[in-house]
């Protein structure tokens, strides 16, 4: 039997990278999947790639109005939700002393307020036995130079996972966190850095990973599937580091 047979799954930030890979895997495991995104170009690509696999919806993860509307539409179509994979996020890196304040605000809006809003509005729709999976990062427990704002948002997500797990336990809903290390996703093309700087950054990060490589979106998708399915039925409030050993070794 498929691991998510007839389950309703919502994936924020599901038009590229980890979210897109997870949408395909969840659908292959029997889920009725809806993914969200904001950029018109990636939404269009995802609609073509996920045709017949998942619904693709334009929705800003950091907008209360958008998330409330999404929850209302999902309720009307499906009645309830079994899995939330709160994956949407943005990353900008740079020295703390010269980092732009507006970027800090935007990252907290999307990376932290986004999942907070999703849990707030979808909690009443989550069925008993449901699962919420938050996407944080190994940097939530590291002190990597240049990641001050990004790491802080992910530490906040990790904290939210604990609190939400405690609050939703009585309803029979589990909340867990996957914290990836460096993953081959389009996010590295959105860092606002010159190509040479991105390549140097990637080389530096890889040298610190015990497995000496970046992970793949599919590898993180499989962790998300584990946390979303009954395979992890006795886990809640937990964090899984899927990082090639970066956080532990």
- Which of 115, 120, 84, 117 is closest to 9 using CA atoms? 84
- Report the DSSP beta bridge partners of residue 54: 33
What is the arrangement of strands in the sheet containing 54-58, beginning at the earlier edge strand? Answer: 54-58, 32-37, 8-12, 81-86, 126-135, 174-180, 239-242
CA angle 167, 34, 85 (to 5 degrees): 35
Alpha helices (H) in 101-194, listed in sequence order: 101-107, 114-122, 148-168
Give yes or no: 150 in active site. yes
Contact 93, 122 (CB under 8 A): no
Active-site residue, selected from the candidate residues 116, 150, 214, 226: 150
Pairs from 56-62 (Cβ < 8 Å, separation ≥ 24): 56/14, 56/15, 59/12, 61/12, 61/13, 61/36, 61/86, 61/88, 61/110, 61/114, 61/115, 61/117, 61/118, 62/88, 62/106, 62/109, 62/110, 62/113, 62/114, 62/117
Positions marked active-site: 150
């Amino acid at each position: 039997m498929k691991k998510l047979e007839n389950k309703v799954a919502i994936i924020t930030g599901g038009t590229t990278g980890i979210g897109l890979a997870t949408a395909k895997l969840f659908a292959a495991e029997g889920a009725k999947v809806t993914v969200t995104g904001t950029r018109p170009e990636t939404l269009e690509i995802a609609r073509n790639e996920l045709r017949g696999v998942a619904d693709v919806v334009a929705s800003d993860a950091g907008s209360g109005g958008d998330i409330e509307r999404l929850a209302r539409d999902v309720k009307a179509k499906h009645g309830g939700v079994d899995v939330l994979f709160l994956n949407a996020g943005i990353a900008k890196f740079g020295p703390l002393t010269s980092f732009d304040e507006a970027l800090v605000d935007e990252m907290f809006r999307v990376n932290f307020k986004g999942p907070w809003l999703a849990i707030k509005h979808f909690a009443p729709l989550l069925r008993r036995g449901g699962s919420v999976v938050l996407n944080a990062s190994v940097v939530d427990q590291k002190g990597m130079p240049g990641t001050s704002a990004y790491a802080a948002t992910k530490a906040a997500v990790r904290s939210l996972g604990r609190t939400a797990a405690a609050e939703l336990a009585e309803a029979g809903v589990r909340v867990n966190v996957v914290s990836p290390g460096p993953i081959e996703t389009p996010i590295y093309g959105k860092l606002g850095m010159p190509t040479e700087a991105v390549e140097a950054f990637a080389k530096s990060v890889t040298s610190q990973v015990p497995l000496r490589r970046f992970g793949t979106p599919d590898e993180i998708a499989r962790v998300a599937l584990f946390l979303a399915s009954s395979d992890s039925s006795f886990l809640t409030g937990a964090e899984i580091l899927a990082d090639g050993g970066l956080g532990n070794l």
